[in-house]
Structure 1
């Protein structure tokens, strides 16, 4: 079933409040230099209903340490979203192709955000659709075990965990995005980009708790 979410729009900076537990991601805000251009891209890509946009001139170089992933039902749907992203101005980092785990590819949006579009299916069972089964915010972290415990301490529940390599948290029924953790170096390799990067992550995660930053500097704020 397709995910539903809020229409992309500007958001305001959250006021400082006491930190509370979070149980899932309520929103993901991408910080961009050109709001109008970003709106056009994400509308053309077809994911504008699942992310928020905010104007920012924060310095950011190289790999920003995360990716947003679209999980869809079949290769034809991967190709549909992949083609829409490229047509809207995305740069291809990895062409869509078959692999041991399924079928997928990686693109970089004009604002710099990296998106991975994939399916575990290797054959089509019907015509392409524009439905998204799941969106995953995958954070590249230095220490998966430490970051996992950090988020467990703030109320998130681990759904899957593979030692110090990967951890995935369960998402609430109303949450459009699932949170997962992966070693930063491994994530950069998987995406086909150099691991080096500095400055702002250019992403803010919304939850029910007050503002805080995790062990790798990813910012959370109270979702509006």
Structure 2
């Protein structure tokens, strides 16, 4: 695979937040707290229509297989469905679950063996958008001021994360992403996700909505 790494000189825009639109925010808040990812996302009530694959996944990178198993078990105990059981592969170990609100989460590690006990630590969270044309969408984002960190031709692109966001943004082919997650690629209606932008509102070529980033919500006492 021919890998090209590109760095844009424009650094005015970055992903500042990820908001999931859910039918029941309180139930979703309980789920994500039990799952252990509540600090990475925001939630808001929405009844917008959506069927099938919503075109994205949130991926957790963790230290080892035992930690993958722990996050999968926590998600299932809190009400998630297993789309792909955690298993070994050529690249490591991982599994895929779907939250009760419909959001798909992938939990993975590049390690094939544990070098220590399981933890509840997350090394990285990546928002993968499934898009029809990676090159065209990458250029759209570059024109909006995002900086490309890695680019693998028309297959994958990753953007430099913003200082305030705990989530990294990346692009992947929609059909390839659906296949990786074990779901059909077809889907209609809302993506039911809103991305916080440091540089105003816009909508990308695949219909993902960016909004002016809101300040962080106060932490409940």
Q: TM-score, normalised by structure 1?
A: 0.89
1:186 partnered with 2:176: yes
Counting only pairs closer than 5 Å after superposition, residues 155-194 of structure 1 correspond to structure 2 as 155-194=145-184
Counting only pairs closer than 5 Å after superposition, residues 1-224 of structure 1 correspond to structure 2 as 22-224=12-214
Q: Secondary structure at the match of 2:75?
A: helix
Gaps of 5+ in 2: 1-10, 215-221
Shift of 1:35: 1.1
Whole-angstrom distance in 2 between the partners of 1:152 and 1:73: 32
Q: Secondary structure at the match of 2:66?
A: helix
Whole-angstrom distance in 2 between the partners of 1:127 and 1:24: 35
Shift of 1:67: 0.2
Deviation sequence 1:144-200 (CA, Å, 0-9, x none)? 000000111111111111111111111133320100001101110110001110000
Equivalent in the alignment of 2:5: none
Gaps of 5+ in 1: 1-20
Instruction: Please tell me the root mean square deviation across aligned C-alpha atoms, in Å.
Output: 1.2
Q: Secondary structure at the match of 1:97?
A: strand
User: 1:210–1:173: structure 2 CA closer, same or farther, 3 Å change rule?
Assistant: closer
Whole-angstrom distance in 2 between the partners of 1:76 and 1:172: 30
| Count of aligned residue pairs for this structure pair | 205
Q: TM-score, normalised by structure 2?
A: 0.90
- Tell me which stretches of 4 or more aligned residues in structure 1 moved more than 4 Å: none
Identify the range of structure 1 (151-160 vs 189-198) with the bigger mean alpha-carbon deviation.
151-160
Whole-angstrom distance in 2 between the partners of 1:128 and 1:173: 28
Whole-angstrom distance in 1 between the partners of 2:101 and 2:162: 28
